[in-house]
Amino acid sequence: MRTEKLTYKELLRQLDYNSLTGIFIRKISNSSRVKIGDIAGSKNKKGYIQICVNGKLYLAHRLAYFHYHGYMPENQIDHEDQIKHHNWILNLREASDQCQQRNQGTPKNNTSGVKGVVWNKNRSKWIAQITLNFKNKGLGYYKDFNNAVCARLAGEQCLNWEGCDSSSPAYQYVKENIQCQRN
């Protein structure tokens, strides 16, 4: 079993990558279980595709980036649509850890449909908030849901999140339903 670092040349020798579908195809057979032309990889427990090359497991989205761009990314690779096995190149981008954390979906227990906007029963108002360095920062209390969403979106924009949170629920809601009004 080889343990040296995977080179670009070796990656190209072993795998073909379709940048439109995100699928890798084996170009060589290195065991009786692997045939030339087979789709490479399988889902791991977290839902990512992993591929064995020279006895070492690699995440397919990292290999896709390497195959397409010619270098192994230093940072994380973010799936813009947040679906872990969608590895076509237009869905992948290099992102810092902090940016990766921002591009998380709306929590399952969120009832407003907009991440960072929650109903406060005690005050009978909507709270807009944002997480920064693992701490919640309040953006205000609002009687009107739309104003709370606008406050959340403004918070994202003040922190330059536009390039990170490709599916910002606040942005999507504002785009589809309202225009923020300035006081």
CB atoms under 10 Å from CB of 6, counted, come to 16
pLDDT per residue, tens digit, the chain (183 aa), is 445 789 999 999 999 999 999 999 999 987 888 899 999 999 999 999 999 999 999 999 999 999 999 999 988 898 888 899 999 999 998 887 767 666 666 777 788 889 889 999 999 999 999 887 778 899 999 999 999 999 998 888 887 766 665 567 777 778 788 755 554
CA count, 13 A, side-chain hemisphere, 122: 2
Residue 124's contacts (CB-CB under 8 Å, 6 or more residues apart) are: none
Locate CATH 3.90.75.20 in the chain.
Answer: 8-95
**8-95, CATH topology level:** Homing Intron 3 (I-Ppo) Encoded Endonuclease; Chain A (3.90.75)
**pLDDT score recorded for residue 180:** 54
**pLDDT score recorded for residue 2:** 47
104-177 sits in which CATH class?
alpha beta
CA distance 162 to 100: 12
**pLDDT score recorded for residue 81:** 84
Locate CATH 3.30.730 in the chain.
Answer: 104-177
**pLDDT score recorded for residue 1:** 43
* φ/ψ bin of 140: left (φ > 0), alpha (ψ from -120 to 50), beta (otherwise): left
Q: Under a CB-based contact definition with an 8 Å cutoff, are residues 146 and 176 in contact?
A: no
